Amino acid sequence: MAIATLRYLVILKVKKILSLQPTKRLNLMPRQINLLLSVIFFSVIIISGSKLFKAENGIITIERNIEGTPIKIMKPEQSNGILVFIAHGFAGSSNFMRPIAVSLTQAGFTTIRFDFLGHGENTLPYSGSITQISGATKSFISQTNSVIDYYKNIYHPSSIILLGHSMASDIIFRTALTRSDITSVIGISTYTDVITSQKPTNILILNGEWEPTLKLKAYDILTKIGIAKPKENILYGSFDDGSARKIISIKNADHIGILFSKRTQEAIGQWMNEAFEIDPTIEANQMGIWIAIIFISMFFCFFFYISSLPKKLNQHFDIPFKKFIFLNSCSLIFTPLILNFLKFEFVIFPAHNHLINHLFLYTCICLFCIPTNNLKTFFTNRSILVFLALILVYGMFFGTALNSYVSTFIPMSGQRLSLLIMLLIGTIPYMIYLQILFNAKTYNWLMVGIAKIQLLCSLVISIALNFEELFLIGYAILLFLLFSIFFGSLSNKLSKRVYSQISVGFANAVMLAWAYSTALPLYIP
């Protein structure tokens, strides 16, 4: 009787669903499915986060600031008495090196990471060219020596190892040449011209499989010190006299991926075994994979949640396409030319200051293609909740993960915060302009794409006109592309659902200014 009653109720429910209008039937399930998918990806985020926390079980992390240099020390439960100093590459931070530091610390090594001048959490700018020994390189070497000396006196290590990535590979090799207490030097994505057959002592060079230029450079280094037809994974020289030399290519790794690769940790572990004739039992962690899963899951969690929201009616702008093309082309050409001769000084850092001027002037020229008849509606459809929600999700949700495992993202100083505020002068008008284009009746996606490409081309022209001061704009272009792919796509999807483009534009402006203020190095020529 109970089964028959249940069957009858199910049939009634199905008939009720089928009796709905087709559009209502179709809209019923997708919203529920999108919410379910959002919950699933949120669960994956929780699982991935727990895996990352588990990887650091037993590690004591201490943060210090020595003479303006931010320091992160990782101490194992049982130390083997060896200190490993880990240095990041150009435009990076100590957070990039975290997976390698964790694997070494779990094996008994005490690891010390630090941020170079102008990078990461370091509030002191750097100056001079990084391509000249008398420029920034000299300052970075001095900074590295200061960190080594300070912690050598505290820990009295049995051995000292230097490990550096990209730009820092050259810095650590040059630093080792100024000292007699370095046992081994490990360069990742290495470029340097100072290695000889005996100095620095005991060298391991790691390059990614997808770094052909640096791989050739590694072969060239060994050839120049007298090794005929050098090969990978072969130990040349001896650890006894400090002449050990070895090069390894990390499979399926590029310039950044090599820092998160399990194979990189395994290669370093094998080198430690050979160098110290001990078994530190380095267990390569999977932090790189879990970090990637976290960011992918964050994207889709938010994506499917937005997809579950009901759509609101929207009003569109009638933007003349030919006028749009003409004015954007004028901006592309005239903005860099004008700013090459005349610009306001908002901040003391040339790259940041140029970005403010460039975004503001570029947008002012482009705005003449926007009709004014619908602007009142555009600016009145605002929602403080939408703005705050985006800032919360991007700044705290994504930002915390970025700041912990990739690159510094949370402003740690008044100087970075003041940069963020000043950058809003340029990012707010530009991001609102993009939202207006997204709201065009026709060719909206095409116009937004053209507007972004032409802005980037305009910035490239600025770099060409003043490379010495504005070379960092190249990194700003990369950040803009990543921002557009990740944050921009999610924001625009939300904008279509909630019809509050002005709120979305302001949120995007804050986040782009946030990214530029924290990720771009502080540089004064």
39-57: burial string, b at 16+ Cβ within 10 Å, e else: eebbebbeebbebbeebbe
Distance CA 309, CA 311 (A): 6
The model's confidence at residue 282, banded by pLDDT at 50, 70 and 90, is confident
| H or E element that contains 276 | helix 262-276
| pLDDT of 8 | 46
Q: What is the CATH number of the domain that holds 116?
A: 3.40.50.1820
Same domain for 272 and 377, yes or no, is no
Task: Average the pLDDT over each of 167-181, 247-261, 283-297, 494-508 and give the range with the smallest value.
Answer: 494-508
217-236: average pLDDT: 95
47-53: average pLDDT: 96
Task: Average the pLDDT over each of 117-121, 309-313, 362-366, 392-396 and give the range with the smallest value.
Answer: 309-313
Does the structure show a pLDDT above 70 at 25? no
| pLDDT of 377 | 66
Give, in order, the Cα–Cα distances in Å from 291 to each of 47, 88, 98, 476.
Answer: 11, 18, 11, 23
Residue 18 covered by a domain: no
Same domain for 424 and 351, yes or no, is yes
Same domain for 461 and 385, yes or no, is yes
Same domain for 231 and 357, yes or no, is no
Beta partners for residue 349, in sequence order:
none
In 3D space, the residue among 449, 428, 424 whose CA is nearest the CA of residue 328 turns out to be: 449
118-124: average pLDDT: 93
Arithmetic mean of pLDDT over the chain: 90
Same domain for 236 and 357, yes or no, is no
Higher pLDDT, 94 or 278: 94
Instruction: Give the strands of the sheet with 245-250, arranged side by side.
Output: 60-66, 69-75, 110-114, 82-87, 159-165, 184-188, 203-208, 245-250
Does the structure show a pLDDT above 50 at 20? no
| pLDDT of 410 | 80
The model's confidence at residue 164, banded by pLDDT at 50, 70 and 90, is very high
Residue 292 covered by a domain: no
DSSP structure class, residue 197: S
**Helix 414-438, helix 350-366: angle, nearest 10:** 20
Higher pLDDT, 205 or 397: 205
Same domain for 70 and 159, yes or no, is yes
Higher pLDDT, 317 or 304: 304
Does the structure show a pLDDT above 80 at 376? no
What is the number of structural domains in the chain? 2
| pLDDT of 89 | 95
| pLDDT of 276 | 86
- φ/ψ region of 127 (left if φ > 0, alpha if ψ in -120 to 50, else beta) reads beta
Does the structure show a pLDDT above 90 at 488? no
Residue 139 covered by a domain: yes
pTM for the model: 0.89
Same domain for 374 and 265, yes or no, is no
Same domain for 268 and 346, yes or no, is no
Task: Average the pLDDT over each of 183-187, 334-338, 401-405 and give the range with the smallest value.
Answer: 401-405
The model's confidence at residue 10, banded by pLDDT at 50, 70 and 90, is very low
| pLDDT of 278 | 72
159-174: average pLDDT: 97
Residue 314 covered by a domain: yes
| pLDDT of 380 | 74
| pLDDT of 23 | 45
| pLDDT of 333 | 97
In 3D space, the residue among 469, 474, 447, 443 whose CA is nearest the CA of residue 459 turns out to be: 474
Same domain for 205 and 345, yes or no, is no
SS3 184: strand
Q: Which range of residues forms the domain containing residue 376?
A: 309-524
Same domain for 233 and 367, yes or no, is no
Same domain for 260 and 340, yes or no, is no
